[in-house]
């Protein structure tokens, strides 16, 4: 069995004050939308906050469930889907297709393709950003005449804290 690499363990797998993650994600979103001239409406911001409630991808239905319990915000599904589309187009969230769920982006300030390590035990998703992976995919696609428009790589396994607990 491998020894846990505590020094390299991402914050997502360690006990931490998550309110910092949420507030910095929301502040970054405000700044990014201001720079891009897009509008982070109250609903879009609330949906982003819900996606950021943990480091585990959250499904659209879970978001709808919370919103419909909140007073004065009987958000219709299309409204929530449009808010998620907006957040995705602006790089603030990534969609994890295998879980049909969304995760907040840790580096929304520049365009990138997401690579995710998804823990099968606790469902934490850790975002990697390895240009060599994206480049290899683009090169492999190009070799067969395929143009890549977007790529989200999803890798399933066990995270450091679940390995330690096992």
Residues lying near Zn ion in the complex (CB under 5 A): 18, 21, 105, 114, 119, 121-122, 159, 162
**Cβ distance to Zn ion smaller for residue 57 or 114:** 114
Smallest gap from Cβ 95 to Zn ion, in A, equals 11
Distance CA 12, CA 125 (A): 8
Distance CA 122, CA 114 (A): 20
Smallest gap from Cβ 33 to Zn ion, in A, equals 16
| CA neighbor of 83 nearest in space, from 72, 74, 92 | 92
Distance CA 54, CA 138 (A): 31
Smallest gap from Cβ 120 to Zn ion, in A, equals 8
**Cβ distance to Zn ion smaller for residue 63 or 160:** 160
- Measured CA distances, 70 to 25, 44, 78, 158 (Å): 22, 15, 17, 35
Q: Using CB atoms within 10 Å of the CB of residue 149, give its burial: 0 to 12 exposed, 13 to 18 middle, 19+ buried.
A: exposed
Which residues are paired to 96 by β-bridges?
101
**Cβ distance to Zn ion smaller for residue 68 or 152:** 152
Smallest gap from Cβ 140 to Zn ion, in A, equals 22
Smallest gap from Cβ 134 to Zn ion, in A, equals 12
**Cβ distance to Zn ion smaller for residue 121 or 135:** 121
């Amino acid at each position: 069995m491998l020894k846990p690499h505590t020094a390299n363990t991402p914050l997502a797998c360690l006990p931490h004050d998550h309110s910092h993650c949420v507030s910095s994600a929301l502040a970054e979103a405000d700044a990014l939308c201001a720079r891009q001239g897009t509008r982070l409406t109250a609903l879009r911001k609330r949906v982003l906050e819900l996606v950021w409630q943990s480091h585990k991808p959250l499904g659209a239905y879970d978001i709808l469930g919370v919103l419909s319990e909140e007073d004065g915000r009987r958000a219709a599904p299309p409204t929530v889907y449009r808010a998620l589309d907006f957040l995705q187009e602006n790089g603030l969230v990534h969609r994890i297709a295998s879980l049909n769920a969304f995760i907040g982006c840790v580096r929304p300030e520049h365009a990138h393709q997401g690579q995710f390590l998804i823990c099968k035990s606790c469902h934490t998703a850790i975002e990697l950003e390895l240009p060599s992976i994206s480049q290899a995919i683009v090169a492999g696609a190009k070799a067969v005449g395929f143009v890549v428009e977007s790529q989200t790589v999803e890798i399933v396994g066990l995270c450091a804290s679940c390995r330690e607990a096992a």
